[in-house]
Amino acid sequence: MTDPLLMLRRLREGNRRFVDGRAAASLGHQFMPMEDQTPEAVILGCSDSRVPAEIIFDQGPGDLFVIRVAGNIVAPSQSASVEFAVTRYGTRLVVVLGHSRCGAILATLEAFRAGHAGDSAHMNSIVDRVRPSIQAVLQLGAHLDEETLIREAVRANIRASVQQLTHSSVRLEALVAKGEVLIVGAKYCLATGAVEFLDLGTEAR
């Protein structure tokens, strides 16, 4: 099991290689038989087609356990998937990965302003999980311009997902409390390719 802070550093270094055009990992140029897996990090990210976790962190097959869902929300299936990776493979780092101009955030903002839910119960299940983040940002910054509002809503949604995931199961909560698992939030910038890790303590910077 890799120390979570060491793996965090590897992800940051991989992202720097990606941004600089020095990515080294191969994601399928040559078949590699892999009967077992020992992923060093779990990525709970958005389903957006522009945010492929293995590529933006310059990691290869078997390095990451990736869970993708619109809006990087935390529902029971996502929480169970994270718990599965942590307990079965001993993965100690979990990253909740959001991104700029997130479609789920924009859809939630539209629904909030319209004053009613959409006509799809499945879509509303995502919007309803993102909505508290939008409301919190609006309450704290009633006069924010549109771009700032979206940016802060994205960040608030990432932080909310980190908190929800941390307390979504007794097992995860206990592992985090004992320092055996680290759950952090991160934001990918579509314009630059850079990943910003949010709210890290001094020891993780």
E strand or H helix that includes residue 65: strand 64-68
In percent, how much of the chain has pLDDT > 70?
91
pLDDT at site 118 = 65
Q: Which domains does the chain have, with CATH numbers?
A: 4-196 (3.40.1050.10)
Burial class (CB in 10 A: 0-12, 13-18, 19+), 145: exposed
Task: Using alpha carbons only, give the angle 60, 98, 21 rounded to the nearest 5 degrees.
Answer: 45
For residues 41 and 62, the answer to whether their CB atoms sit within 8 Å is no
Given a cut of 60, whether residue 18 has pLDDT beyond it is yes
For residues 199 and 163, the answer to whether their CB atoms sit within 8 Å is no
Given a cut of 60, whether residue 205 has pLDDT beyond it is no
CA dihedral (184, 155, 110, 164) in degrees, to 10, reads 30
Say how many Å lie between the first and final Cα of the chain, rounded. Answer: 21
* pLDDT bucket at 146, cuts 50 / 70 / 90: confident
